[in-house]
Amino acid sequence: MKNKNSDDLVQRNSVPILSWDFHYEYLNELKALSSDLERVSKISDEFVWDEKKLNIRERIKQEVVLVTDLNLRIVFASSGIKRMTGYKEEEVLGRTPKMFQGPATSQKDLKEIREAVKKQIPFAKTLENYRKNGQTYKCKIEASPVYNLKGEISHFIAFEKQDLSA
């Protein structure tokens, strides 16, 4: 025979444990965000970017941030990259954003992106990209060249998020 008091105790104590799970998840997200901001700030400081103009602090909270060098090799990816693509940051570093493209990615859009990069001008596109598991998703990208205070281009930065309206 079950003890009614012990059943009540288990039911009452299960809710706080659940809330701790949510708290722990939120705490981990805050730690990842803080780490992302610290790492991208190091790059920004090293190359003397105008961080306020880029609005990285606000955008990194809601979007994936990718920073590439002038050869379009990824030098920074925010922690949201794993959630959106399935890839960990260390799996994308040193590679180009082409790794997210495949047969369903619009060649016309890619050509327009290449032209914008060549002309060193900002662009915004929504591409059919690929996750690590091969699944496609619509990726809204806003990217631009990043200049140091001397007016020299040092990197490209992209703010990306999944387009759920498509």
Q: Tens of pLDDT along 115-134?
A: 999 999 999 999 999 999 99
Cα pseudo-dihedral 83, 158, 136, 113, rounded to 10: -170
Q: Which range (12-16, 71-75, 112-116, 131-135) has the least confidence?
A: 12-16
Is beta strand 74-77 parallel, antiparallel or unpaired with respect to 123-130? unpaired
Per the CB < 8 A criterion, the answer to whether 127 and 138 are in contact is yes
Q: Select from 3.40.190.10, 3.40.50.2300, 3.30.410.10, 3.30.450.20 the CATH code of 4-162.
A: 3.30.450.20
Which of 72, 71, 93 minimizes the C-alpha distance to 82? 93
What percentage of the chain carries pLDDT values higher than 70?
A: 74
pLDDT band at 85 (very low <50, low <70, confident <90, very high): very high
- Residue in this structure with the two tokens 């799970």, named with its chain if needed: 21
Beta-ladder partners of 138: 128
Per the CB < 8 A criterion, the answer to whether 49 and 154 are in contact is yes
List the chain domain ranges: 4-162
Q: Measured between alpha carbons, how far is 52 from 149 in angstroms, rounded to an integer?
A: 12
Q: Measured between alpha carbons, how far is 128 from 106 in angstroms, rounded to an integer?
A: 7
